[in-house]
Amino acid sequence: MSSDLRISADRLLRRLEELAVHGDSGDGGVCRLAASDEDRAARDQFRAWLQDLGCELAIDPIGNIFGRMPGRRPGPPVMTGSHLDTVTTGGRLDGAYGVLAGLEVLATLRDAGITPACDLSVAAFTNEEGVRFTPDMMGSLVLAGGYPLADALSRQDSAGKTLGEELQRIGYAGAAPMESLRPGCFVELHIEQGPVLEAEGLQVAAVENLQGISWTQVEIRGQANHAGTTPMSLRRDAGYVAGSLARFLRELADDMGPPQVATCGRIELEPNVINVIPRRALVTVDLRNVVEDRLQEAEARLQSWLEQAAVEEGVEIESEILARFEPVDFHQEVVGVIEREARSLGLASRRMTSGAGHDAQMMARICPAAMIFVPSVAGVSHSPRETSLEADLVAGANLLLHSMLSLAESGVAGTP
Amino acid sequence: MSSDLRISADRLLRRLEELAVHGDSGDGGVCRLAASDEDRAARDQFRAWLQDLGCELAIDPIGNIFGRMPGRRPGPPVMTGSHLDTVTTGGRLDGAYGVLAGLEVLATLRDAGITPACDLSVAAFTNEEGVRFTPDMMGSLVLAGGYPLADALSRQDSAGKTLGEELQRIGYAGAAPMESLRPGCFVELHIEQGPVLEAEGLQVAAVENLQGISWTQVEIRGQANHAGTTPMSLRRDAGYVAGSLARFLRELADDMGPPQVATCGRIELEPNVINVIPRRALVTVDLRNVVEDRLQEAEARLQSWLEQAAVEEGVEIESEILARFEPVDFHQEVVGVIEREARSLGLASRRMTSGAGHDAQMMARICPAAMIFVPSVAGVSHSPRETSLEADLVAGANLLLHSMLSLAESGVAGTP
């Protein structure tokens, strides 16, 4: 029986260290932007490990890398994967953990001489973070047919270089046809990037859905005036409206209740000096919910608040949608498999929602998909301080192993 | 009788134009920082006009310039004056109007062959704005004995140059002994820099007091976290507290009622990006009131709010006093003279409070003092758009003329 099978903790943790060398920022973090020299080095390392395993290697035209292990029956693979790129002040785990845990699953099966019921594959998707080239989750989005390949390749970074040129330069503009690479089902392992699992003392989560995101930039135009000589009743204070908006967002989220969240992450005042009433404010609004109707309700309440604030303070307010993604429901059968396998492994788990975007949401467009989360220490991510307990990283990889084996046995990925 | 005496509107307005050449910012405004080349040019022009008038000229060690016209009896002068320096994005009137109107008063008397009852003098005080060298109102503060001369001369600008060096360089490090220059009483003419007179359709104000100022910088330290994955209940959001503080300040001022004003002019968030809960916020607080007890009450309520916010949101809050000036009550007799002369001249007037700091508040430490305000169009100042109606500028100068004559006749400035 394979139920006692466990991944090699030493190998997984060692490879995480080895990969973090590429883009090491010297403060415990990693800066490995998509299609950079650092990204190339990490890709080369990942490819070498896949080749050592004897995997069938494929690189598609958007630069996604796939390693495939044949199973006992033909057909689309049970796929796992994540990304190797990071944000500018990134950590060692966001993305890399999911890719290397997938590699570790294949290595564990190879070492044990086990042939899975169907093909398994591990993917490293291009440009998940979207920092150097927008939009984010680009490689998986293109693979899922949600964004034209030509458009993606022509996206430019701030220096004017296109992703297509950069993939050519680093040797990752592949030719493998995307149709042959698409999975029968997909499960992604990732750090939580939030504080919930740690706060509840749990080791893993079966991620059943992913929040919809609504990003709005609000511009408030009032009138600059002297802070000492302008009576309160005659003010048209863009800073006051900006502050009130930050407060309103908290009240909105509290009033709607979980899972609604609302954040004001950015405020810019002009002229931004102590004794001048601000003439202009830029404020960003981040609204998220797992239920589309509720997210729309939050957006409507925001707009209504802005209209009222404009009238009450005599300011002009314009808002612009910066990004909008509907919530994603993951596949109940895949979530169920993850839950069952967690129970078999004796791991304390819960179902939860992903508050961040992930490649799995793009795969969910074309196949049954779900995710596994492991705890983030203090909920920190996108930071050199991003870390997780080694025991949790190992537990997550073992859960990925058994979830993939179970999915291969089941009918979720196609005819068994 | 001199009651029909009027200043020369043409000369006053022409000289305002001529002075604005020095530091002309090309957009209708003026940039004439203290002890700069532009300040030297304006000082040279003012000095030349005083010399043309045959005034007794004096420059003291802090660079204040005085022009004095002898009266019929000896003793300290009835003084007027203001400043020639501007803020970086200054206008043509703030300061310059008061200095040139004072010059115009002396010129009018000379033209009419009138010898006032006592000496009159007009002062251009050094570095009122405090932009290049802190503190502000420096020249009048030093003259009033409120700040040691040596300390003032050793203040450095951002390039490391001292005020003393710069006064030497531009030729305005004078030697006139300050004791001999101090006035018997003082009246300053200035633009309102606020919207009240214009809103009420008045031409002048007799300024009876000046707000106390309390400037506080508040630092809020929370925890950066992902805007999507961090439940509202687990947040320690420095941005939310910053926004709430801006809103609280409005509520505080509304609750205390006029003349209390409260302004949040500056907010800086870190990292200041749309999808990260801010870990740190800097917020400035500007509180003003004409009653010291009430200003202290506002400060106490701010501190109490900050303490409660720190507990409720789990953030650390530190506040630092950046500046603190008690309110100033001007001299009732001087205010009364201004009011009577405004009535005689048929000018619609009111008493009011100054929301900004002025040289007159420093003179009020050593002699009876008050101010005259004329309306600012749209209440705008410290801006190239700063302007006042010509008729109001002329009316203000005529009120200054007759107020100074009346003060010279009265006993306010000393034994008549």
Residue A415 has pLDDT above 60, yes or no: no
Which residue of B227, B249, B284 is in closest CB contact with A265?
A: B227
Domains of chain A, by residue range, sit at 9-211+327-409, 216-325
Q: Could you tell me if the ipTM is greater than 0.95? A: no
Which DSSP state fits B162?
B
**Which residues in chain B have Cβ-Cβ distances shorter than 8 Å to A217?**
274
Alpha-carbon dihedral B289, B290, B292, B294, rounded to 10 degrees: -50
Say if pTM beats, i.e. exceeds, 0.90: no
Contacts with A131 (C-beta within 8 Å, 6 or more apart), sequence order: A33, A34, A85, A87, A88
Interface of B with A in 182-211 (CB under 8 A): 192-196, 199, 211
Q: Using the beta-carbon criterion (under 8 Å), do B277 and A258 form an inter-chain contact?
A: no
Which residue of B249, B272, B355 is in closest CB contact with A229?
A: B355
Percent of chain A at pLDDT above 70? 99
**Would an 8 Å CB–CB cutoff place B379 in contact with chain A?**
yes
**Would an 8 Å CB–CB cutoff place B25 in contact with chain A?**
no
- Structure tokens of A35? 């299609």
Tell me the three state secondary structure of residue A144. coil
- Determine the pLDDT at residue A314: 98
Instruction: Supply the mean pLDDT for chain A.
Output: 95
Interface of B with A in 313-332 (CB under 8 A): 322
Which H/E stretch holds residue B205?
Answer: strand B204-210
**Would an 8 Å CB–CB cutoff place A295 in contact with chain B?**
no
- The CATH architecture that domain A216-325 belongs to is 2-Layer Sandwich (3.30)
**Would an 8 Å CB–CB cutoff place A213 in contact with chain B?**
yes
- Under CATH, which number does the domain A9-211+327-409 receive? 3.40.630.10
| Helices first, then strands: H and E counts in chain B | 12, 16
CA distances from B322 to B38, B213, B263, B286 (A): 29, 10, 14, 10
Which residue of A195, A224, A276 is in closest CB contact with B230?
A: A195
**Would an 8 Å CB–CB cutoff place B288 in contact with chain A?**
yes
Interface of A with B in 40-79 (CB under 8 A): none
Residues A2-11 pLDDT 10s: 689 999 999 9
Chain B interface, best mutation among A129, A210, A232, A241, by max B CB count within 10 A: A232
pLDDT interval class at A414 (50, 70, 90): low
What is the mean predicted confidence (pLDDT) over A359-369?
Answer: 97
- Determine the pLDDT at residue B414: 64
pLDDT interval class at A332 (50, 70, 90): very high
Q: Using the beta-carbon criterion (under 8 Å), do B243 and A242 form an inter-chain contact?
A: yes
**Which residues in chain B have Cβ-Cβ distances shorter than 8 Å to A272?**
265-268
Give the CA count within 13 Å in the CB-facing half-sphere of A130: 11
Chain B interface, best mutation among A197, A213, A275, A381, by max B CB count within 10 A: A275
Which DSSP state fits B328?
E
Q: Using the beta-carbon criterion (under 8 Å), do A232 and B261 form an inter-chain contact?
A: yes
- Determine the pLDDT at residue A273: 87
What is the mean predicted confidence (pLDDT) over A232-261?
Answer: 97
How many pairs of residues across A and B have Cβ atoms under 8 Å apart?
A: 226
**Which residues in chain A have Cβ-Cβ distances shorter than 8 Å to B275?**
215, 263, 265, 286
**Which residues in chain A have Cβ-Cβ distances shorter than 8 Å to B286?**
227-228, 274-275
Residues B188-243 pLDDT 10s: 999 999 999 999 999 999 999 999 999 999 999 999 888 998 899 999 999 999 99
Q: Judge residue A66's burial from the number of C-beta atoms within 10 Å of its C-beta, 0-12 exposed, 13-18 middle, 19 or more buried.
A: buried
- The domain made up of B212-325 is a member of CATH 3.40.50.300: no
Q: Using the beta-carbon criterion (under 8 Å), do A194 and B228 form an inter-chain contact?
A: yes
pLDDT interval class at A1 (50, 70, 90): very low
**Which residues in chain B have Cβ-Cβ distances shorter than 8 Å to A239?**
246, 263-265, 267
Residues B148-181 pLDDT 10s: 999 999 999 989 999 999 999 999 999 999 999 9
- Determine the pLDDT at residue B416: 41
Residues B270-294 pLDDT 10s: 999 898 899 999 999 999 999 999 9
- Structure tokens of B26? 């090309």
Chain A interface, best mutation among B207, B255, B263, B376, by max A CB count within 10 A: B263
Q: Is B212-325 the same fold as B9-210+327-409? A: no
- Structure tokens of B108? 């009018």
Q: CA of A274 to nearest chain B CA: how many angstroms apart? A: 5
Residues A255-305 pLDDT 10s: 999 999 999 999 999 999 898 899 999 999 999 999 999 999 999 999 999
Which DSSP state fits A234?
G
**Which residues in chain B have Cβ-Cβ distances shorter than 8 Å to A385?**
none
- The domain made up of B9-210+327-409 is a member of CATH 3.60.20.10: no
- Structure tokens of B3? 């009651």
Chain A interface, best mutation among B89, B200, B225, by max A CB count within 10 A: B225
pLDDT interval class at B52 (50, 70, 90): very high
- The residue ranges of DSSP E strands in A181-279, in sequence order, are 185-191, 204-210, 212-221, 225-226, 261-263, 267-270, 276-277
- Structure tokens of A396? 């997550």
Which DSSP state fits B32?
-
Residue A411 has pLDDT above 80, yes or no: no
Which DSSP state fits A208?
E
Give the CA count within 13 Å in the CB-facing half-sphere of A52: 11
- Determine the pLDDT at residue A416: 41
Residues A34-59 pLDDT 10s: 999 999 999 999 999 999 999 999 99
Q: CA of B388 to nearest chain A CA: how many angstroms apart? A: 15
Closest CA relative to residue B40, chosen from B168, B132, B149: B168
What is the mean predicted confidence (pLDDT) over A211-217?
Answer: 95
Return the residue matching tokens 């950069």: A166
CA angle A377, A381, A386 (to 5 degrees): 55
Identify residue B146 by its one-letter amino acid code. G
Q: CA of A144 to nearest chain B CA: how many angstroms apart? A: 24
**Would an 8 Å CB–CB cutoff place A227 in contact with chain B?**
yes
What string of H, E and C letters represents the secondary structure of chain A? Answer: CCCCCCCCHHHHHHHHHHHHCCCECCCCCECCCCCCHHHHHHHHHHHHHHHHCCCEEEECCCCCEEEEECCCEEEEEEEEEEECCCCCCECCCCCHHHHHHHHHHHHHHHHHCCCCCEEEEEEEECCCCCCCCCCCCHHHHHHCCCCCHHHHHCCECCCCCEHHHHHHHHCCCCCCCHHHHCCCEEEEEEECCCCHHHHHCCCEEEEEEECEEEEEEEEEECCCEECCCCCHHHCCCHHHHHHHHHHHHHHHHHHHCCCCEEECCCEEEECCCCCEECCEEEEEEEEEECCHHHHHHHHHHHHHHHHHHHHHHCCEEEEEEEEEECCEECCHHHHHHHHHHHHHCCCCEEEEEECCCCHHHHHCCCCCEEEEEECCHHHCCCCCCCCCCHHHHHHHHHHHHHHHHHHHHCCCCCCC
CB A186 within 8 A of CB A362: no
The CB density around residue A98, as the number of other CB atoms within 10 Å, is 33
Which residue of A193, A246, A262 is in closest CB contact with B226?
A: A193
Q: Judge residue B320's burial from the number of C-beta atoms within 10 Å of its C-beta, 0-12 exposed, 13-18 middle, 19 or more buried.
A: exposed
Closest CA relative to residue B182, chosen from B57, B78, B332: B78
Q: What is the DSSP string of A345-394?
A: TT--EEEEEE-S--HHHHHTTTS-EEEEEEPPGGG--SSTT----HHHHH
